[in-house]
Amino acid sequence: MSKSMSKSMSKSMSNESVATESMTEPDDMTDGIGAPSIAAAIEALLLLTDEPMSVLALAEAIKCPSDDVWESVHDLAKQYTEQGRGFELREVAGGWRFYTRADCAPLVERWVLDGQQARLTQASLETLAVIAYRQPVSRGRISAIRGVNVDGVIRTLLSRGLIAEGGDQGESGSILYVTTAHFLERLGIASLDDLPPIAEHLPDLADLDDVLDSVATGD
């Protein structure tokens, strides 16, 4: 075999080796993930989970650096917005979760009102609003604000995971109620600071708290 032919074959084999490495490298990179890409892994997990997943939780599940996951999550959120998808990737309650886009609200509202999903009663919604804006708040004060007994409604909200016990009221021992992370998830907000202001809807009473206290205690 001539030297020129030997060099030619050696070069050809070297090129084939480089090509093979180039073709197998992406698969090697995703073998540990179990998905075609980090972005695909994030989408799969968020479609399965019942609650928001933090970047750290996603990184641990995907077995990738958290910085890479953080970048992919934000890229996905941006892509969905730019593409005008019917859903969006939103950060709520310390994690990420899929939500229907606000532009699709009329469709979603129509579907819900058609009875496709169980809804809270008006009494439950009113009680939940009181707790959300006045928390931590006792059962007595909630009843004073609403003017009715709220025992049954409190049990309903507790069973649905929208509220939880948040300690007691000192000497009286009354249980105080607060909203939960699940409440934030259902509203699609990151924190209670994102609740809409209601000051303009309240009576202009500087001693409103004193009035409520007296009604709640019967003094």
pTM of the predicted protein model: 0.46
- The Cα angle at residue 125 between residues 122 and 126, in degrees rounded to 5: 85
- Please tell me which residue, 28 or 85, carries the higher pLDDT value: 85
Complete domains list, the chain, with CATH: 32-103 (1.10.10.10), 120-217 (1.10.10.10)
The rounded distance, in Å, linking the Cα atoms of 108 and 76 is 23
The predicted-structure confidence for 137-159, as pLDDT tens digits, reads as follows 999 899 888 888 898 899 889 98
Distance (Å) of CA 51 to CA 80, 144, 193: 20, 34, 20
Mean pLDDT of the chain: 78
- Check residue 200 and give its pLDDT: 58
Identify whether the C-beta of residue 168 lies closer than 8 Å to the C-beta of residue 182.
no
Judge whether residue 162 has pLDDT over 80: yes
Structure tokens at 184: 């934030």
The predicted-structure confidence for 178-192, as pLDDT tens digits, reads as follows 999 989 988 888 898
- Check residue 20 and give its pLDDT: 40
- Check residue 195 and give its pLDDT: 87
Identify whether the C-beta of residue 161 lies closer than 8 Å to the C-beta of residue 180.
yes
Residue where the block lists tokens 């409604």: 153
Residues 6 or more apart from 173 whose CB is under 8 A from it?
none
